[in-house]
Amino acid sequence: MVSRNPLGNLFGRSPIGPIQEHMQIATEAAEHLPELIQAAADNNWDRAREIHKAIKAAEKEADKLKRSVRRHLPKSLFLPVPRSDLLALVAIQDQVANTAKDFASIFMGRDMRFPDKMFPAVLELTATSVACCQHALRAIQELDELLEVGFTGREVKRVEVMLKELDKLERSTDKQQFALRRKLFRLENELPPVDVMFYYRATALLGTLADSAESVGDRLQILLAK
């Protein structure tokens, strides 16, 4: 005879694991970007195409998880935070995967290689933006603990420290992006105008990636305040 757990049936599937998994996959999409940029710089386009494929696959998987969370998130009163807040959190997390895919699509659509004078600054900005995503992920990985303690106590303070570090990292990307734009501005006369336009667009997307990660932290901060 199959054992049945009445409490399990009552509460249904916990939404927290899928939400954390969704952010994990979104972050993995972002983590491919430094290697993609380096592969193009090395003229290793076979490798670049493999990485692009992995980014698209991660974004697709994130979309599937987002839809699953929307379908299965309980509507009962047993959630310690409003259901709408968790759905909003997943939507914001999804922007991380979407932005990574958008960058990769523009990058590969033009066989983009950043000029040598820009390349170190681009890698630095990319690394810091990815670090923002990783910090946001670490905070989201504490969500189940936060729910267990009712968003009170030491766990809240620990997550708040994480979110402050995330904010600090995002501010670093603002400075890096500004410096990169100034560098590109000085190179404009040496580069094809259409290429310049897409360099600006690509670097803006790297900044958007960090902004999206910070938005995840901001949404979590709102949950902590309730």
Percentage of the residues of the chain whose pLDDT score is greater than 90: 74
More confident residue, 147 or 127: 127
Nearest to 216 by CA among 43, 88, 108, 31: 88
pLDDT at 111 over 50: yes
User: Please, which residues have CB within 8 angstroms of residue 206's CB and are 6 or more apart in sequence?
Assistant: 33, 103, 122, 125, 126, 129, 173, 177
pLDDT of residue 150: 67
pLDDT at 42 over 80: yes
Residue 14's pLDDT band (cuts 50, 70, 90): low
Nearest to 23 by CA among 85, 105, 122, 89: 89
pLDDT at 124 over 70: yes
Q: Which two tokens stand for residue 33?
A: 């970007």
Task: Calculate mean pLDDT across residues 130-137.
Answer: 98
Task: Calculate mean pLDDT across residues 20-47.
Answer: 97
Pick the CATH number of 14-225 from 1.20.58.220, 3.40.920.10, 1.10.10.410, 3.40.190.80: 1.20.58.220
pLDDT at 10 over 50: no
- Work out the mean pLDDT of the chain and round it to a whole number: 90
Task: Calculate mean pLDDT across residues 131-147.
Answer: 92
Task: Calculate mean pLDDT across residues 97-104.
Answer: 98
N- to C-terminal Cα separation, the chain: 44
- Contact indicator for 80, 146 with CB cutoff of 8 Å: no
How far is residue 157's CA from residue 224's CA, in Å, rounded to a whole number? Answer: 10
Span 71-100, pLDDT tens digits: 888 776 466 678 888 999 999 999 999 999
pLDDT of residue 201: 98
- Contact indicator for 136, 23 with CB cutoff of 8 Å: yes
Exposed/middle/buried for residue 206 (C-beta within 10 Å: 0-12, 13-18, 19+):
buried
pLDDT at 7 over 60: no
Residue 174's pLDDT band (cuts 50, 70, 90): very high
How far is residue 3's CA from residue 9's CA, in Å, rounded to a whole number? Answer: 12
Residue 143's pLDDT band (cuts 50, 70, 90): confident
Q: Which 8-state DSSP code applies to residue 149? A: T
pLDDT of residue 8: 36
Percentage of the residues of the chain whose pLDDT score is greater than 70: 89
For 53, phi then psi, to 5°, come to -60, -40
- Contact indicator for 155, 149 with CB cutoff of 8 Å: yes
Task: Calculate mean pLDDT across residues 167-174.
Answer: 97
pLDDT at 6 over 60: no
pLDDT at 54 over 50: yes
Task: Calculate mean pLDDT across residues 177-200.
Answer: 97
